[in-house]
Amino acid sequence: MGKLSLFDRRRRRVRTALKARSGGRPRLSVHRSGRHIYAQIIDDADGRTLAAASSLVKGATASGANVDAASSVGKQIAEAAKAAGVTAVVFDRGGFLFHGRVKALADAAREGGLEF
């Protein structure tokens, strides 16, 4: 395997630490691109996505690349998780810093009733 980028090393480090202390809870994974933000709840035991939300959805309240859009995606993922019967997750920020849009998504998901 070739040399990993700093981002990939950080992502791998975060995910390894999460697996050690997840206790079988599903993982709330966040991906942030220049234009959008995406969140999915993944059951690593089954390798299945239980719920997903993103700023791509038509009728989203704000454009994808700002804190308001991230908050709305956080609320959406919390609702989708409730519908799937998930209440407690572990937060996987990937290689992204817990700041700005990623933090806004996490805070909105907590307000929506997800525990992490």
Domains, the chain, with CATH or none: 6-111 (3.30.420.100)
Query: How far, in Å, CA of 90 to CA of 13, rounded?
Result: 15
Q: Give residue 36's pLDDT.
A: 94
- DSSP annotation of 4 reads P
User: Is the full-model pTM beyond 0.75?
Assistant: yes
- Residue 9 in contact with residue 27, Cβ under 8 Å? no
pLDDT, tens digit, for every residue of 33-85?
Answer: 999 999 999 999 999 999 999 999 766 566 778 999 999 999 999 999 999 99
The answer to whether the CB of 51 falls within 8 A of the CB of 69 is no
Which helix (H) or strand (E) covers residue 70, if one does?
Answer: helix 67-83
Average pLDDT for the chain: 93
Length of the chain: 116
CA-based max dimension of the chain: 42
CA distance linking residue 21 with residue 89, whole number of Å: 11
Which tokens is 18 given? Answer: 């999460």
pLDDT of 2 reads 80
